[in-house]
Amino acid sequence: MSDEKEQFEPKIIAYVCNWCTYLGADLAGTNRLEYPANVRIVRLPCTGRIDFNLMVKAFEAGADSVLVSGCHPGDCHYTTGNFHARRRWILFRSLLDTMGIDVDRIHFTWISAAEGKKWQEVVTDITESTRKLGPYTAYQRVCGES
């Protein structure tokens, strides 16, 4: 018990699209698939909406990890939004890296409305990996107090 009490509980902010991943997370609920309670979902219409600023805002708010998740390629409710998200992610990954932001704390994945199980696994994995990384105190050193 003492171990569990000392266990670091990371704060994870998930930006998810309304049509696939949000519904995937809903399905995880309907199927009662248990996962760590560390994730806080922000529902956006589409991953195409997610920009660089949202990443930074999440870390400013004290997130230890950020998850971006949308529809699988080809399944976007808005036809191409997730492709834009993917391109942006490829670009910003190196930009964030150059800025000194720990890119291991940013996760990008596709979860469909049918993949409740995958949502459970992704959130569990990210929580575990973030626990290992520890609190993201370095962000304050890089970017200063917000």
Partner 1 sequence: MAKIGVFTCWCGENIAQNVDVQHVAAEIAKLPNVHCSIEYKYMCSEPGQAMIREKIAAEKLTGMVIASCSPHMHLNTFRKAAKNAGLNPYQVEMANIREHCSWVHRNREEATLKAVDLVKMAVAKVRKNQELVPIDIPVTKRVLVVGGGVAGIQAALDIADAGYEVVMVEREPSIGGRMAGLSETFPTLDCSQCILTPRMVDIGQHPNITLHTYSEVAKVEGFIGNFKASILKKARYVDVNTCTGCGTCWNSCPSKKTPSEFDFGLGTRTAIYVPFPQAVPAKPVIDQNACIKLTKGKCGVCMKKCQANAIDFDDKDALVEEEVGAVIVATGFKLFQIGKEQDLEGQSGYGEYGYDKYPDVIDSLQFERLASASGPTNGEIRRPSDGKVPKNIVFISCVGSRDNAKGVPYCSKVCCMYTAKHTMLYKHKVHDGVAHVFYMDIRAGGKNYEEFVRRAIEQDGAQYHRGRVSKITEKHGTLIVRGVDTLAGLPLTIEADMVVLASAIKPTNGAQELAQKLNVGYDNYGFLSESHPKLRPVETASAGVFVCGACQGPKDIPESVAQASAAAAKTLVIFSKEELTRDPEIAKVNEKVCAGCFTCQRVCAFNAIEQVDIRSPNGKLIKRIARVNPGLCMGCGTCVAVCPSKSVDLSGTTEQQVYSMVKSLT
Q: Which residues bind partner 1 (CB under 8 A)?
A: 11, 13, 22-23, 25-30, 32-37, 40-46, 48-51, 53-54, 57-58, 60-63, 77-81, 84-85, 88, 120
- Closer CB to partner 1, residue 38 or residue 104? 38
The Cα 31–Cα 116 span in angstroms is: 8
Residue 53, judged by CB atoms within 10 A of its CB (0-12, 13-18, 19+), counts as exposed
Alpha carbon 55 to chain centroid distance?
9
CB nearer partner 1, residue 42 or residue 138: 42
Minimum CB separation from partner 1 for residue 129, in Å? 19
Considering the complex, what minimum distance in angstroms separates the CB of residue 132 from partner 1?
A: 19
Question: Which two tokens mark 114?
Answer: 């049918």
